[in-house]
Amino acid sequence: MAEATFTDANFDAEVLKAKGLVMVDFFATWCGPCKMMAPAVEKLATEYEGKVKIGKLDVDENPEWSGKYSIQSIPTTIFFKNGEMVDQLVGFQSGEVLKEKIEAYK
C-alpha cells in the first residue's frame, strides 16, 4: 500500500519537514464518511506514489496533531506544501475533488 500512516510521533518529520506536497486524511475507524472516502485516498496514494505523499492520521490514536489543527469534524483533509498548510477540506470528498486539489498544489 502506497499510503503513509501518520502519527503524533512521526508527523513533524513526515509532514512538516517533507519537501513538496503532502495530503493528510484525518479520520477515525468508526467514522462512516471516512470509510467511504478511504478507497479514493488509497487509489490516489498509489497513483501519486513518488510524487505526492498521501496518508492518514487516526484522530483517536493521535490527539496531539488533531488538536493542533483544531480538527472538529472528520474526515478532514489538509494539504501541506513544504511544511506549510495550503488548504483544508472538511467532510467527505470524492476522489475527483481530492485529485483536483493535488493537481493544483503539486
The answer to whether 95 and 102 have CB atoms below 8 angstroms apart is no
Domains in the chain: how many in total?
1
d(CA 105, CA 101): 6
pLDDT under 50 in the chain at which residues? none
pLDDT at 6: 98
Compute the CA torsion angle 74, 98, 12, 2 (nearest 10 deg). 110
At 57, give phi and psi (nearest 5°).
-130, 120
pLDDT at 31: 97
CATH code (residue 29): 3.40.30.10
DSSP sequence for the chain: ---EEE-TTTHIIIIIT-SSEEEEEEE-TT-HHHHHHHHHHHHHHHHTTTTSEEEEEETTT-HHHHHHTT--SSSEEEEEETTEEEEEEES---HHHHHHHHHHH-
Q: What are the catalytic residues?
A: 31, 34
% of the chain at pLDDT higher than 70: 99
Residue range of the domain that includes 98: 4-105
pLDDT at 1: 54
pTM for the model: 0.96
pLDDT at 22: 98
Joined together, the cell numbers standing for residue 101 give 486539489
